[in-house]
Amino acid sequence: MPRPAKRTRSRKRVFKALPGGRTSIHYKREVTAQSSCSLCGRPLTVIPNLSPSEIRKLNRTKRRISRIYGGQLCHNCLKTALKQAARILNAF
């Protein structure tokens, strides 16, 4: 039975083969995914790639991008989307 601190499922288990043929379990931190643009998939570089508990320690301005759709779209996709929206409005 692992000790109580290692019984959590929030740490990933990696089975390592030992030289004698036995295996041991190594506990790894969960890797958080980099947030990316929902249209082109480009990573949003301003938003840090940290675990939720570490993101909670940051300032609010460091957690998000202050422009509209800041946490969703990259600046290029937002630019083209705004242009297209303005052209649709002008057509009517």
Among 40, 58, 68, 85, binds Zn ion (CB under 5 A): 40
* Residue 91, helix vs strand vs coil: helix
Task: Please check whether residue 11 is in contact with residue 29, taking contact to mean a CB–CB distance below 8 angstroms.
Answer: yes
- Cβ proximity to Zn ion, 47 vs 77, nearer residue: 77
What is the distance between the alpha carbons of residues 80 and 19, in angstroms, rounded to a whole number? 57
CB of 73 to Zn ion, least distance (A): 6
State yes or no: residue 46 binds Zn ion (CB under 5 A).
Answer: no
Shortest Å, Cβ 74 to Zn ion: 4
